[in-house]
Amino acid sequence: MHHQEFEPPQELQDTIKCFWYNRRASGAELSSFEVVPDGYVEIIFHFGSGCSISSGGELQPLPSPFMMGLLNQPAIFYTKNRFEIIGIRCFPWTVFDLLGLPSNKHGLHLFEHPMAKLQSKLNTFILAGRIDEAVATVKQYFLQMRAQVAPNSMLFKAGIAMQEAKGTIPVSKVAAAAHVTVRTLERNFKRSSGHTVKDVSGLMRFEQVRNRLWHDPNANLTSLAHEFGYTDQPHLSKEFKRYSGTTPAAFARKAKKGKQGLSKDLLNLSS
């Protein structure tokens, strides 16, 4: 497993969290990996033997690129042999406007977009091991797209407030930070992302707890519940299981034993 992350240019920092590259190798038989929900939307270019997602008990092959929107439960992917990814980790309140696509709440989003024309060029770079050039090509494409979209200062300010508070800020305070009413914020936020402020904040908060437990499996759950604004430990446990399919205590035990079935890179854990 190999994973790299690349900072976005300043002009894209209100839209994109990071660009990333991941390479994994497996045998000729299908192997699976799980992606747990977080507060980002991912645009995925993939190379190699392709990948599929488990849907309704069947495997659905995925085109390149595809988009993973906000998840409310883990998603299982399948691949074999060589599998490489160039990913763009986007803020959910900006990505659909950037791409000129209608927002939606679906986790998996298959879409037609001119960026698909990058696939052949990126594949050439990937096969040659020229990862930096592949990422630079994607960065340049998104810079050109960003230059054609007027910035939404209200959503930018709201997003900054939510990130700084790590999902623990009430909607009323997000609206105050954006200098708009709650109603105006909610209407624009849902139009742009397909989700409510509360939806996204819940994912951001879960992500912070998950990251903390990964790095410190001995962290006290009651203290974490207080720190991240949950009513109490049972509330934290309920929300954690809702998004991850497991309890925070079970997740911490697996992390502590070093037997976590999910790779840190594929979990998109921040350091």
Q: Which segment of 22-26, 95-99, 211-215 scores lowest on mean pLDDT?
A: 22-26
Distance CA 85, CA 48 (A): 9
* Cβ-Cβ contacts under 8 Å for 136 (sequence gap 6 or more): none
Other CB atoms within 10 A of residue 7 CB: 12
Judge contact between 103 and 194, C-beta under 8 A: yes
Distance CA 237, CA 53 (A): 27
pLDDT of residue 198: 93
pLDDT in tens, 103-129: 988 888 998 999 999 999 999 999 999
pLDDT of residue 21: 97
Distance of CA 88 to the CA centre of its chain: 9
pLDDT of residue 72: 84
* Domains along the chain with CATH numbers: 2-147 (2.60.120.10), 153-267 (1.10.10.60)
pLDDT in tens, 162-195: 999 988 999 999 999 999 999 999 999 999 999 9
pTM: 0.88
pLDDT at 266 over 70: no
Give mean pLDDT, residues 235-242.
Answer: 95
pLDDT in tens, 198-212: 999 999 999 999 999
- Specify the residue for token string 């050109």: 144
pLDDT of residue 267: 47
208-237 per-residue burial string, b: 16 or more CB within 10 A, e: under 16: bbbbbbbeebebebeebbebbbbeebeebb
Tell me: cis bond preceding 9? Omega within 30 of 0 counts. no
* Cβ-Cβ contacts under 8 Å for 259 (sequence gap 6 or more): none
